[in-house]
Amino acid sequence: MIKKILTATCLTFFLSLQVQCKDVIPSYGTTLHTKTYGFYQVGKKVELHKEPDENSEIVKTINWTSEKLTPEELSFDDVFSVFIGSKELALMAVDDETEDWVKLIYDNKNNQSGWFKKDDPYKFMTWIYFYNAYGKKYGLKILKDAPEVTEKLYSSPDENSQIVARINHPQYIKLNVLRGNWALVSVVDLDKIPKTGYIRWRSDEGVKYLFPDIK
């Protein structure tokens, strides 16, 4: 009887953790957002307009906390490209930009977007800026469906250059510098031997193969 109670308690606990866990971090590469400009870090209220004009129609108002999002018909995955509730980090994809406004995708599944008036110009991050900021801080992870080219480190940012090492089970990937669609990285693999070389972090079409390992 006691064993059943403990089992039920543990199951309830883990299920509650799953419900409360709202973090959104890409695990797989996708064609989604390949043509976007980057990310914008939003506050807890996001008021989106039809046009980049404060007098234009409001198409969506989104409010969020670390555990709850409204309107309820949207999910955290719909709205955010990156969301870490414990850090209050909420990033939405930028589809277009003017000097004072960014066009944010608020429904990733249906590619719905609206204009948001910038409240801080430094909250807008291009892809390069985002990778430099978060990739250098947290390191990179290889996404689960990344192609075979990401298993190799090259001597230069060119797939025709010499392969200097192979990656088997990376424990940590340190980002040193980005050069176009390539990244110079230092990898600590399962064998604990440091390896340094160039790796493809995205395709020519913008599909991401690696992503900052934000924790």
Give domain status of residue 101, yes or no.
yes
Backbone torsion region of residue 10, taken as left when φ is above 0, otherwise alpha when ψ lies between -120 and 50, otherwise beta: alpha
pLDDT 10s digits, 70-128: 999 999 999 999 999 999 999 999 999 999 999 999 999 999 999 999 999 899 999 99
Structure tokens at 179: 């050069």
List alpha helices for the chain, DSSP H.
2-20, 76-79, 127-130, 136-138
How many separate domains does the chain show?
2
Q: Among 7-16, 46-55, 169-178, which stretch is predicted with the lowest mean pLDDT?
A: 7-16
172 and 108 in a common domain: no
Kindly state whether residues 164 and 105 are assigned to the same domain. no
Residue 113 and residue 145 share a domain: no
CATH at 159: 2.30.30
Query: Does residue 1 sit within a domain?
Result: no
Q: How far is CA 214 from the centre of its chain?
A: 8
Supply the range of the domain harboring residue 139. 135-212
pTM of this prediction?
0.84
- Could you tell me if residue 124 is inside a domain? no
> pLDDT tens across 162-206, in order?
999 999 889 999 999 999 999 999 999 988 888 999 999 999 999
End residue of a domain, out of 72, 89, 119: 119
